[in-house]
């Protein structure tokens, strides 16, 4: 039945996307080129409606059961509305943030989903207590915005999200979490169907309607699947989401170093850096897909490792990420502490 629901979601996405393209042009929900954007033509940008509609088809066909399900779905509707309003009206950053917090609050309060504790090596269970709710909200809002920030090239956010959802599904299979398996699989199929229209050269953008929805759902599913497991619980979803998390983190580092507002837009995200390095649009997207797959594989290995093995793997990942960031200039062209250290040692 799960494969039927996935097939239905995939087909529904392929059917709905052309309809959304026509609808977007009719209501003026289009993205115009400017100095910060890569595309050169006017593009419809509410493709997230097709992803959400296709997901709803597959989800309603299977109807996976979980105590958190209703809260998750209500929050998803709120996030879709916020994304659609932003795509249509370019609402303020504050209004968009309030909408995201509202969606997260529904999941936390009505859905009952919270990061209550993490398991730390050599220490045991560390409870967050009263900080459980704000930490959970921060996680959901943060990941939603991280997916939103990488939505800068054709097929980038949809592909990275699909890879993350497949990784979450694999982890959920290992942990026998039926609800997460079903929900993540259906959403991955919906995103994959949309990707057939969104990959370079794209016919439609997902817009904030899609990126915020996918980010929200990935954040929630990651919490459902991994919040109470062994080793360092939150490291697994962070590794799975290594591409958007790293891009967002180093964007903050870059802006602080340049003495710019953290929310200030720029053209120094991961995909911008790779384009400047000489890679084509399609090559850049495929390279980032490869990075996302590597993070997904690393997360699976991490989950099965011993405590010491997990620590060693985490250190290797951090060093590899830092080296990559310094080489491509993700945190700024003159940010090279690790490379400088290696040169000093080599002298």
Q: How far is CA 332 from the centre of its chain?
A: 23
> 100-138: per-residue pLDDT in tens?
999 999 999 887 888 777 766 666 677 788 888 998 999
Residue 336 has pLDDT above 90, yes or no: no
Q: Are 132 and 92 in contact (CB under 8 A)?
A: no
Residue 217 has pLDDT above 90, yes or no: yes
> 288-323: per-residue pLDDT in tens?
999 999 999 998 888 787 778 888 888 999 999 999
Instruction: Give the global pTM.
Output: 0.90
Residue with tokens 């209500």: 74
Q: Which two tokens stand for residue 116?
A: 């209550």
Q: Are 116 and 244 in contact (CB under 8 A)?
A: no
Which pLDDT score is estimated for 147? Answer: 92
> CA 54 to CA 10: how far, in whole Å?
7
Q: Are 254 and 331 in contact (CB under 8 A)?
A: yes
**Among 147, 150, 148, 165, CA closest to 10:** 165
Which pLDDT score is estimated for 231? Answer: 41
SS3 for 19?
helix
State the chain's mean pLDDT as an integer: 87
Phi, psi of 200 (to 5 degrees): -60, 130
Number of Cβ within a 10 Å radius of residue 107? 28
Mean pLDDT, to the nearest integer, of 200-223?
A: 92
> CA 140 to CA 216: how far, in whole Å?
6
Q: Which two tokens stand for residue 311?
A: 């620590």
Phi, psi of 178 (to 5 degrees): -65, -45
- Residue 27 buriedness (CB in 10 A; 0-12 / 13-18 / 19+): exposed
Q: What is the DSSP string of 147-209?
A: HHHTTTSTTHHHHHHHHHHHHHHHHHHHHT-HHHHHHHHHHHHHHHHHHHHHSSSPS---HHH
Q: Which two tokens stand for residue 94?
A: 């504050």
> CA 223 to CA 86: how far, in whole Å?
26
Mean pLDDT, to the nearest integer, of 170-186?
A: 91
Phi, psi of 13 (to 5 degrees): -65, -40
Which pLDDT score is estimated for 343? Answer: 79
> CA 313 to CA 226: how far, in whole Å?
18
Pairing relation of β-strands 117-120 and 43-44? unpaired
Which pLDDT score is estimated for 286? Answer: 94
Q: Which two tokens stand for residue 280?
A: 């084509």
Residue 34 has pLDDT above 70, yes or no: no
Helix axes 207-226, 178-198, angle to 10 degrees: 160
Of residues 32 and 242, more confidently modeled: 242
Residue 346 has pLDDT above 70, yes or no: no
> 236-249: per-residue pLDDT in tens?
888 888 898 898 88
Which pLDDT score is estimated for 82? Answer: 96
Residue 93 has pLDDT above 80, yes or no: yes
> 233-284: per-residue pLDDT in tens?
567 888 888 898 898 888 888 888 877 777 677 777 888 889 888 899 899 9
């Amino acid at each position: 039945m799960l494969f039927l629901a996935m097939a239905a979601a995939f087909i529904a996405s392929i059917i709905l996307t052309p309809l959304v393209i026509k609808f977007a042009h009719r209501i003026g929900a289009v993205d115009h080129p400017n100095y910060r954007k890569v595309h050169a033509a006017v593009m419809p940008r509410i493709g997230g409606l097709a992803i959400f509609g296709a997901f709803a088809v597959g989800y309603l066909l299977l109807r996976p059961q979980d105590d958190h399900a209703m809260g998750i779905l209500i929050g998803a509707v709120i996030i879709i509305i916020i994304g659609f309003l932003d795509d249509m009206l370019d609402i303020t950053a504050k209004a968009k943030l309030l909408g995201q917090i509202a969606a997260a609050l529904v999941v936390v309060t009505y859905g009952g989903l919270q990061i209550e504790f993490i398991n730390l090596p050599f220490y045991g269970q560390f409870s967050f207590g009263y900080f459980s709710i704000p930490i959970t909200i921060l996680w959901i809002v943060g990941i939603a915005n991280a997916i939103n920030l990488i939505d800068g090239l054709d097929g980038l956010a949809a592909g990275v999200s699909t890879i993350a959802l497949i990784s979450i599904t694999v982890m959920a299979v290992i942990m026998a979490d039926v609800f997460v398996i079903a929900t993540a699989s259906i959403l991955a199929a919906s995103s994959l169907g949309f990707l057939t229209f969104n990959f370079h050269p794209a016919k439609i953008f997902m817009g904030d309607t899609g990126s915020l929805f996918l980010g929200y759902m990935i954040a929630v599913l990651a919490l459902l699947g991994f919040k109470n497991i062994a080793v360092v619980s939150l490291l697994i979803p962070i590794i799975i989401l290594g591409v958007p998390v790293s891009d967002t983190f180093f964007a903050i580092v870059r802006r602080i170093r340049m003495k710019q507002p953290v929310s200030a837009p720029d053209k120094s995200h991961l995909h911008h850096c790779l384009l400047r390095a000489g890679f084509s649009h399609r090559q850049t997207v495929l390279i980032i897909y490869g990075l996302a797959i590597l993070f997904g594989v690393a997360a699976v290995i991490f989950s099965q490792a011993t405590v010491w093995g997990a620590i060693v793997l985490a250190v290797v990942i951090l060093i590899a990420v830092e080296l990559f960031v310094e080489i491509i200039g993700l945190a700024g062209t003159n940010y090279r502490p690790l490379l400088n250290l290696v040169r000093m040692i080599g002298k």
